[in-house]
């Protein structure tokens, strides 16, 4: 997963991050658990995307 670490937190910023090809984003300041949650969410989302595209 490719996760952006950014100080930008507005909804329009989130949309731009997605359009740029990132799997997710985390706003600063962040805690390690936030980063781990973002990674887990991205992996889960990618896994479900792959399983539906294979059928």
| Domain coordinates in residue numbering, the chain | 3-53
| Residue carrying structure tokens 């359009």 | 19
Residue-level pLDDT at 40: 92
The average pLDDT across 2-26 equals 90
- Give 24-39 pLDDT, tens digit per residue: 889 999 999 999 998 8
């Amino acid at each position: 997963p490719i996760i952006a670490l950014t100080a930008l937190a507005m909804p329009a910023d989130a949309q731009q991050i997605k359009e740029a090809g990132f799997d997710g984003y985390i706003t600063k300041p962040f805690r390690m658990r936030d980063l781990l949650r973002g990674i887990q969410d991205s992996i889960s989302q990618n896994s479900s995307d792959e399983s539906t595209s294979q059928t």
